[in-house]
Amino acid sequence: MIIDGHNDLVCRLWRGDEVRHVHLDDARARDFAGGFFALYVPSPKPAEPTTPHYELPLPEPIPTDEAARVAEELYEVFRSLPVRLATRPDDFQPGRVAAILHLEGAEPLAADLSDLERWYGRGLRSIGLVWSRANAFAEGVPFRFPSSPDTGPGLTAAGRELVRACNDRGIVVDLSHLNEAGFWEVARLSSAPLVATHSNAHTLCAASRNLTDAQLDAVGGSGGVVGINFAVSFVREDGAQIAATPLEDIVRHADYIADRIGIDHVAFGSDFDGALVPEALGGIAGLPALVNALRAGGFDDEAVAKVTHRNWLRVLGDTWR
């Protein structure tokens, strides 16, 4: 059974774009049991890097009213999917797809959190404070290579309140896209395991989106998990957008993080339908090939089970109420 930390299927369907990776008809045959389905309020698409060294400008913040309007439309798309809403770990079972309702970027929420309870009632169980661009709660990292994730200030007062409110309700706080100052504020504030749903090891790929060794140590020390992002520009040592990237580059990040903080803290966080992934993977259909690559890389049956689903189930059980 495979549980995944991040996909952008909902936004792709909302835009009317062709689905590239998350073909749900393939799920049963590929042991895909679902995972985090993002509601992402898009900005204009950033330019694709044209060289291995790049710095893409971040778009302007989106006003709350506009973000809330788009989020309502995204939510309707989410509801239309042939999936089970996941609010308990045992909603994930072989032979069906369960979806965690996840906000990638908290822009749709009022700064006073007056609508958080309504979203929780709809099934919201995971929030990424930012999608890179700044908002009322925090500031994210720009898309830059090479770059440290230390790129700006930490959480706002509203962001600190949002972290506390998520802890109180049992909502996952996702650290992916958040800058380093914000990461450390969440680490100090949060009583829940630290989670980065789709991030990698900065030591192996010096993209601003990846986690430093110190950040990885904090995730491991909290009992949390890092979902390995399959995006080629976040796994390759040179940061390049090359589709002919081998699956072994994904395995290299899983192996590094497992060696650094333990196998209990590594999972999948594909970024399917939101990024260029290795052509050898191609989406859900290629997940068995990735599992085989893990095995070839020295991951035994227990380690594979932890990476593919057990670690997500444990952290969700430790976080959700």
| pLDDT bracket for residue 39 (50, 70, 90) | very high
Residue 287 pLDDT > 80: yes
Q: Where does the pLDDT of residue 321 fall: very low under 50, low under 70, confident under 90, or very high at 90 and above? A: confident
Q: Could you report the per-residue pLDDT of 12-28, keeping only the tens digit for each?
A: 999 999 999 999 999 99
- Residues 6 or more apart whose CB falls under 8 angstroms from that of 159 comprise 106, 129, 136, 137, 138, 182, 185
Question: What is the pLDDT, as a whole number, of residue 205?
Answer: 98
Average pLDDT score over residue span 57-81: 97
pLDDT of residue 81: 98
pLDDT value of residue 235: 98
Contact indicator for 149, 180 with CB cutoff of 8 Å: yes
Q: Are 134 and 62 in contact (CB under 8 A)?
A: no
Per-residue model confidence as pLDDT tens digits over 171-212:
999 999 999 999 999 999 999 999 999 999 999 999 999 999
Confidence of residue 48 (pLDDT cuts 50, 70, 90): confident
Is the pLDDT at 268 greater than 80? The verdict is: yes
Is domain 2-319 classified as CATH 3.20.20.140? Answer: yes
The alpha carbon of 281 is separated from its chain's Cα centroid by a whole number of angstroms, namely 18
Domain chopping of the chain, boundaries: 2-319
Could you tell me if 254 and 307 are in contact, meaning their C-beta atoms sit under 8 angstroms apart? yes
Q: Give mean pLDDT, residues 96-117.
A: 98
Say if residue 46's pLDDT is above 80.
no
Average pLDDT over residues 270-289: 97
3-state secondary structure at position 11: helix
Residue with the bigger pLDDT between 49 and 105: it is 105
pLDDT at 52: 86
Q: Token pair 């309700």 is at which residue? A: 169
Give the strand pairing for 32-39 and 2-7: parallel
Query: According to the model, what pLDDT value does residue 49 have?
Result: 85
Average pLDDT over residues 97-106: 98
Cα-flanking dihedrals φ and ψ of residue 227, to 5°? -85, 115
Question: What integer pLDDT is reported at residue 228 of this predicted model?
Answer: 99
